[in-house]
Chain A
Amino acid sequence: MTTHPSTSSGHVQEDKVVFGFWVYLMSDCVLFAGLFATYAVLQNATFGGPSIAELVSVPFVLTETMILLTSSFTVGLALLAAHRHSGTTTLRVGYGAGKKYLVLTLLAVTLLLGLAFLGMELKEFSHLLAEGNGPSRSAFLSSFFTLIGTHGLHVFFGSLWMLILMAHIVIKGLNPGTVRKLTMVSLFWHFLDIIWIFIFTIVYLMGALAL
């Protein structure tokens, strides 16, 4: 492997793989748009049940937001550490000397933050279910659980993927293959953070306006 992969043919191939993943993210974006539209239409259809204003705890959700935002930052730092010296960015895969343990540490921090986020979300869901406000309570709650649950599922699979990637890096070290996977995980994670900004704004903050 040369030290300047941008001149090798392998680089072009890797670019295509990352671009393919980007196209997947864009289609995922359309999926979330459908869920957001459903939520926007059904948010007042409470069927005598609680409205979003009665359920929302903004400081709790703000904490979730900060956790996810910080994890988005740390996964970016992990990618940066892997790419250091190669002068590449998120969208262009390169093979830097990298610092394996720094990358692993930053990924571990990201993973822990992701799990903390998931834990808080599960706590919120179980609290709602315990009070009889499950997805079957009203059309509003169905759309609420679908939107937030789909995002949570993405975070769950992202965390699982990150765990597997960490095992890959431990075993194989930083090579073009693992760095490419890291690039895609970080794209996925940034994407989830962006989706969450809109959930935070549209569901929670706009819901809290009626408090």
Chain B
Amino acid sequence: MKTLRAYILGFILSIALTLVAFALVLEHVRTGHVFPSHGLAVAVLVVLAVIQLFVQLMLFLRLGEERKPRWNLTALVFALLIVAILVGGTLWIMQSLSHGQMQEPRDIFTEENIFPSTQND
């Protein structure tokens, strides 16, 4: 019956974490984006999702009960490393790219006089 308890606990915790995240967003919208602030809300949402990831890994996938040499865990850690490099690297590169192009987007049609802007008439 130990496993049944783990599944029920995992289920309840997952529902609770999902509802807390939902309530956080409602509160953010209700207070007119004041509290919690956008940055704080994003940070808390990420933390809640990661907690739920661990809850499900431990209580649904029972990763904590794996016996040595824990190949499943090893594969997971390696996959998470790749995910971190892939997502983190992509965001880093794309953000520094858009930072380097901060000026107003050029209106190529007006510049090349293809469709002369009507506002200048």
Contact = CB atoms under 8 A, between A and B. Distances in A.
Interface of A: 19, 22-23, 26-27, 29-30, 33-34, 36-38, 40-41, 58, 62, 65-66, 69-70, 72-73, 76-77, 80, 83, 89-92, 187, 190, 193-194, 197-198, 200-202, 205-206, 208-209, 211
A58 B38 CA distance: 17
A209 B22 contact: no
B91 A33 contact: no
Interface of B: 3-4, 7, 10-11, 14-15, 18, 21-22, 24-26, 28-29, 33, 38, 41-42, 45-46, 48-49, 52-53, 56-57, 60-63, 65-67, 71-72, 75-76, 78-80, 82-83, 86-87, 90-91, 94
B114 to A, nearest CB: 19
Contact of A194 (B3, B42, B56, B87): B56
B87 A29 contact: no
A193 B61 CA distance: 11
A37 B90 contact: yes
A201 B46 contact: yes
Contacts of B25: 58, 205, 208-209
Contacts of B76: 26
A22 B63 contact: no
Contacts of A201: 21, 45-46, 48-49
A27 B86 CA distance: 13
B91 A62 contact: no
Contacts of A72: 14, 56, 60
A209 B4 contact: no
Nearest to B62: A89
A157 B36 CA distance: 39
Contacts of A89: 3, 62, 65
A65 B17 CA distance: 12
Nearest to A23: B75
A206 B45 contact: yes
Given A26-B76, A65-B18, A91-B72, A33 B45 contact: no
Nearest to A70: B11
A205 B25 CA distance: 7
B3 A80 contact: yes
A197 B49 contact: yes
A41 B94 contact: yes
B96 to A, nearest CB: 12
B90 A41 contact: yes
Given A80-B7, A91-B63, A91-B66, A30 B86 contact: yes
Contact of A30 (B11, B14, B66, B79): B79
Contacts of A34: 86
B72 A19 contact: yes
A69 B15 contact: yes
7 contacts: A22-B75, A30-B79, A36-B87, A41-B91, A89-B62, A201-B45, A205-B21
A76 B75 CA distance: 22
Contacts of A90: 60-62
